[in-house]
């Protein structure tokens, strides 16, 4: 299996991606690539491996989409105009960060596996039905994950569940409604669960491939966004009771053990993270984005203030960030509370870990009513206790106050992990934007300079909370319509 994942990079150049049919240059017109491919188990595994590799290539989009519009990070240096405009809510349809093609390439690979892998069972005796179903489970997970990222950023996107294989498949697909996309995500994840693996043979697989616990973690997140709180709690409980992942200790033998989630990666707390390995030439640019590049992401002054509220917090100076440079040490350092840098740029990117499960469950409990506030606070205080904070928080007096407690804790625990904007947006849009003012106030806390009144006026329009569809997509797909806020934007 390892060789499949190594040559998946080559496969990316050979297999058709969404919107690309270069293979037709070497095959007779409209001859299916499946006529020559999908002959054995290794080829099915290779396509799935290519989906993971391509998803790894979306890392910078995951970071920027999840953080640029939030208040946890600031920018230092020669900031590209495209990122600056996104952060200022001035993004235009020709902005590179409005491009979604990378995620649709992953979706297309997943669609290929879902459609064609079952046919391989009859061709390859070594490809058993259970193994095939396990591959399908991973494909459904990846497709659901990509659509979840897309729907939170664009609200409405084309919902494509068939692979783009040749010119007979139309590339003109209209956007689907937000509710329809969420329903497809839930259907995909529920379909993925029965055949999913509880554990893989190797550590990197346990954390870098879809497991039952990764699927439940994603499903809990989706249920929070769709305001299905009892289902979110049930999904969280499946992970909490799994016995395969757990909340690691904050300090072990006077060492900041929390920091090892980032310096070493693939900790017992991890549920799903993108895998990088310098020895296999699988690297990323996180060292540049957070440390050595012409511009870098640094901790915001707001978050420095939040960490300074508790000198006991082991996640603060020397762990999440460096108080001298304000750079994110969690991605740059080899050891907490030192100046020793990482030797290589192969940091893993964590999408879900156990602390997320605790805090997602806490948020869902709050939404069930005041009688659940104490239980929710117990979960929050458990995360704070792990961080070394000895004084527990008291119960808030209102739903919004309790939600703010959870989101503040998430901001500290997940600094720079691509979650902050989504957290603010999720709470704000709940109950038909009951807390829109909360979103505005939180965004403005991270705004520096005199642009706050302009940004406030933009954020009053709920359509501004989503990205425009890139002009290239509008030109290539005649059925696409621009998102409302950008209809009259040049």
Show the domains of the chain with their CATH numbers. 1-196+468-490 (1.25.40.390)
Distance CA 447, CA 425 (A): 16
Average pLDDT over residues 56-69: 98
DSSP-H helix ranges across 271-353:
286-287, 301-308, 329-332
DSSP label of 458: H
Distance CA 490, CA 485 (A): 12
Tokens coding 219:
């499903």
Residue 443 has pLDDT above 90, yes or no: yes
Residue 140 has pLDDT above 90, yes or no: yes
Query: So what's the pLDDT on residue 15?
Result: 47
Question: Do residues 440 and 451 lie in contact, with contact meaning Cβ atoms separated by under 8 Å?
Answer: no
DSSP label of 341: B
Helix (H, G, I), strand (E, B) or coil at 273: strand
Per 3-state DSSP, the chain is made up of helix, strand and coil in percentages (nearest 5) of 55, 5, 40
Question: Do residues 121 and 128 lie in contact, with contact meaning Cβ atoms separated by under 8 Å?
Answer: yes
Query: So what's the pLDDT on residue 191?
Result: 98
Q: How far apart are the first and last CA of the chain?
A: 49
Query: So what's the pLDDT on residue 166?
Result: 64
Torsions phi, psi for 93 (to 5 deg): -65, -10
Question: Do residues 322 and 329 lie in contact, with contact meaning Cβ atoms separated by under 8 Å?
Answer: yes
pLDDT band at residue 421 under the 50/70/90 scheme: very high
Q: What is the pTM of this model?
A: 0.94
What is the enclosing helix (H) or strand (E) of 116? helix 101-123
Count CB neighbours of 343 within 10 A.
8
Contacts of 245 (CB under 8 A, 6+ apart): 213, 239, 268, 269, 270, 271, 353, 354
pLDDT band at residue 167 under the 50/70/90 scheme: low
pLDDT band at residue 456 under the 50/70/90 scheme: very high
Average pLDDT over residues 393-414: 98
Select the more confidently predicted residue: 35 or 75.
75
Distances (CA, A) of 484 to 94, 165, 174: 16, 31, 15
Select the more confidently predicted residue: 33 or 17.
33
Question: What is the average pLDDT score of the chain?
Answer: 92
Residue 28 has pLDDT above 70, yes or no: no
Query: So what's the pLDDT on residue 487?
Result: 86
Looking at 13-22, 269-278, 377-386, 453-462, which range is the least confident one? 13-22
Nearest to 352 by CA among 230, 236, 256, 258: 236
pLDDT band at residue 54 under the 50/70/90 scheme: very high
Query: So what's the pLDDT on residue 374?
Result: 98
Residue 352 has pLDDT above 50, yes or no: yes
Only one residue has tokens 């310096």, namely: 263
Query: So what's the pLDDT on residue 386?
Result: 98
């Amino acid at each position: 299996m390892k060789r499949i994942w190594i040559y998946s990079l080559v496969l990316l150049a050979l297999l058709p991606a969404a919107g690309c049919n270069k293979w037709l240059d070497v095959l007779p017109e409209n001859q299916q690539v499946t006529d020559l491919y999908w002959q054995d188990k290794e080829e099915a595994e290779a396509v799935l491996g290519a989906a993971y590799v391509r998803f790894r290539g979306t890392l910078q989009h995951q970071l920027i989409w999840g953080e640029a519009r939030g208040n946890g990070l600031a920018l230092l240096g020669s900031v590209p105009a495209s990122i600056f405009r996104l952060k200022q809510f001035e993004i235009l349809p020709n902005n590179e960060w409005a491009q979604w093609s990378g995620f649709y390439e992953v979706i297309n690979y997943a669609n290929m596996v879902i459609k064609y892998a079952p046919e391989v069972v009859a061709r390859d005796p070594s490809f058993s039905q259970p193994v095939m179903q396990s591959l399908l489970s991973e494909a459904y997970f990846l497709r659901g994950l990509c659509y979840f990222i897309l729907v939170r950023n664009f609200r409405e996107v084309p919902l494509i569940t068939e692979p783009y294989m040749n010119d007979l498949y139309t590339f003109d697909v209209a956007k689907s409604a937000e509710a329809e996309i969420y329903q497809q995500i839930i259907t995909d994840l529920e379909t993925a669960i029965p055949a999913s693996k509880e554990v893989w043979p190797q550590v990197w697989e346990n954390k870098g491939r879809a497991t039952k616990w990764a699927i439940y973690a994603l499903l809990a997140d989706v249920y929070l966004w769709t305001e299905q709180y009892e289902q979110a709690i049930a999904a969280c409980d499946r992970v909490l009771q799994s016995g395969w992942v757990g909340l690691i200790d904050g300090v072990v033998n006077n060492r900041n053990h929390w920091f090892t989630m980032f310096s070493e990666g693939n900790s017992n707390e991890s549920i799903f993270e993108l895998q990088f390995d310098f020895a296999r030439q699988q690297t990323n640019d996180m060292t540049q984005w957070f440390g050595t590049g012409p511009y870098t992401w640094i901790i915001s002054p707001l978050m420095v203030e939040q960490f300074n509220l508790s000198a006991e917090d082991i996640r603060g100076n020397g762990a999440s960030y460096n108080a001298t440079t304000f750079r994110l040490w969690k991605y740059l350092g080899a050891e907490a509370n030192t100046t020793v840098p990482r030797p290589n740029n192969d940091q893993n990117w964590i999408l879900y870990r156990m602390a997320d499960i605790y805090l997602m469950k806490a948020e869902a409990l709050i939404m069930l009513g005041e009688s659940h506030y104490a239980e929710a606070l117990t979960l929050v205080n458990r995360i704070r206790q792990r961080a070394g904070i000895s004084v527990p928080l008291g119960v808030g007096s209102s739903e919004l106050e309790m939600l703010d407690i959870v989101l503040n804790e998430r901001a500290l625990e997940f600094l720079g992990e691509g979650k902050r904007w989504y957290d603010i947006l999720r709470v704000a849009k709940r109950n038909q934007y009951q807390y829109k003012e909360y979103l505005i106030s939180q965004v403005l806390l991270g705004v520096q300079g005199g642009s706050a009144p302009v940004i406030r006026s933009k954020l009053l329009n709920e359509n501004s909370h989503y990205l425009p569809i890139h002009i290239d997509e509008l030109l290539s797909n005649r059925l696409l319509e621009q998102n409302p806020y950008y209809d009259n934007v040049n």
